[in-house]
Structure 1
């Protein structure tokens, strides 16, 4: 204890900021040196597990925040346990409104047990807001009466959160003029059987990640409208719904991972043509080549779980003259496969095959007749290929492996690597 007591206050405060505030509070019993040290903390970790009841938990939060010496709270982290219903975890508006609050992170161990007050949307200095497994207070009139004033918010993460309505969520997002990073994970977030429209209209947004679970999507019909022209990163996992993108390319886009089904594929590809790294899982028909050029694309990943996925592959390859890395991956355990569909070798091969493509990888290769044709086509026509890695399904036979090894290659320096994988979907 003497060694710890000799440490500077800054070091002790860093130590206390790593533990629940109840532990930091109890540390004042150790010695006089620790008696009021917790009052200078700017990172507050409240954990319901350290309290006997919700009442004692909220009373402790109220008391400790009242006696803090510094007006700035860099991070307020709240962890709620699923023992009792916790109404309005952050109704301490009178305590926080006069403080500079930078970050709020609230997590509930059970999504139906913690209800968050709408007053969270009034914190003027908030920069980061992370909510997980929560119910936003179900008072619809209050949501439309209260002004959403989060002028400083740059990062918003809503993970499995229940909202009063998608109309409210759209309104919330459109009011965040400084928002740059958005994560929406809607798995298990709403009641099934609704038909709604969610608009993500945020001109300042730079990073967007939108996730819904396939099982949830089967019971919901929703129109997702995305209009975010300044994005440099896009990730959408959205199935069995209608997704719409603005009819213009995203000039700043660097990386995109798009997994959707009901969509205008030609329109989508036009919005993504500025990307350097692209991952696609789409249901497509034969798409004419020629009106879109991915002149910045160097890395491409195509999911092979959907019907006639090779049409999308051919389309993007022909329009990607600078492509250097190609990966085929069966990313999902579900899909719309057609065992009678046949791949036809295109009459022309992509420019990238001659000048740039260096790395080819296939993960989840099953050795079907169509897959063998595609692998053979790529190996025979990629003149600068350095590495071809085929991660095969556990059920692929030794004879199929020998056929892979015997395939001719245009590049004499290409190294062919074949290996088994236990789980092709990882």
Structure 2
């Protein structure tokens, strides 16, 4: 977390009244930092570190999650965060200010169980800087297939790329758990 002067501030004490957190961290062990903010309602996160320790963490209040695409560990981190956030209503996948897009995304491994938030609460998915790579299509397809209460899924192409008609058609024809979900392309 960046302080006012631009220096790094690392707070690891429990913060039960914190409502919103912006975590942009490259330290290898961020477990204690993440553990201190499990009460947030809104979390923006970018981490080059693996979030393997999150298996034991629970975000009881988290409703809005924004995950940065710049790390190659993106898809495994996304699954861990979804599993830890049963009340999640909104997921935004984007590039944080000043971050460069990843070169290659880690291999998408479909979770063995569907995250609770997809079955009970997720209403909105927004993916900015979407390139249509196979891993991205698999993740969007998985969310559409399992998010029972999804109302909107907005997919925004990266830069000035023109949408590939095949990618659009594939996403439009993807099975959806929510019959009322509107799929929008920008």
TM (norm. structure 1) is 0.40
Partner of 2:4: 184
* 1:68-117 superposed Cα distances (whole Å, 9 cap, x missing partner): xxxxxxxxxxxxxxxxxxxxxxxxxxxxxxxxxxxxxxxxxxxxxxxxxx
Seen in structure 2, the aligned counterparts of structure 1 residues 336 and 261 have a Cα distance that, compared at 3 Å, is: farther
Pair 1:409 & 2:166 matched = no
Seen in structure 2, the aligned counterparts of structure 1 residues 271 and 318 have a Cα distance that, compared at 3 Å, is: same
- Give the drift of 1:366: 0.6
Pair 1:245 & 2:32 matched = no
Partner of 1:17: none
Partner of 2:29: 264
* 1:384-426 superposed Cα distances (whole Å, 9 cap, x missing partner): 111111111232422212211111111001111111xxxxxxx
Gaps of 5+ in 2: none
Seen in structure 2, the aligned counterparts of structure 1 residues 366 and 260 have a Cα distance that, compared at 3 Å, is: same
Alignment: residue pair count: 183
**Cα distance in 1 for residues equivalent to 2:136 and 2:46:** 17
**Cα distance in 2 for residues equivalent to 1:343 and 1:349:** 14
Partner of 2:185: 418
**Cα distance in 2 for residues equivalent to 1:330 and 1:405:** 24
Gaps of 5+ in 1: 1-181, 187-197, 199-223, 227-243, 420-426
Higher relative contact order (Cα pairs below 8 Å, separated by 6+ residues): 2
**Cα distance in 2 for residues equivalent to 1:183 and 1:255:** 15
Seen in structure 2, the aligned counterparts of structure 1 residues 245 and 263 have a Cα distance that, compared at 3 Å, is: farther
Give the counterpart of 1:352 among 117, 128, 132: 117
Pair 1:364 & 2:129 matched = yes
2:154–2:185 CA contact under 8 A, matched in 1: yes
- Quick check: which one's strand share is greater? 1
Alignment of 1:9-28 (within 5 A): none
**Cα distance in 2 for residues equivalent to 1:414 and 1:296:** 24
**Cα distance in 1 for residues equivalent to 2:65 and 2:71:** 17
Seen in structure 2, the aligned counterparts of structure 1 residues 309 and 374 have a Cα distance that, compared at 3 Å, is: same
- Give the drift of 1:334: 4.2
TM (norm. structure 2) is 0.89
Q: CA RMSD in A?
A: 2.1
1:274–1:297 CA contact under 8 A, matched in 2: yes
Partner of 1:381: 146
SS at match of 2:172: helix
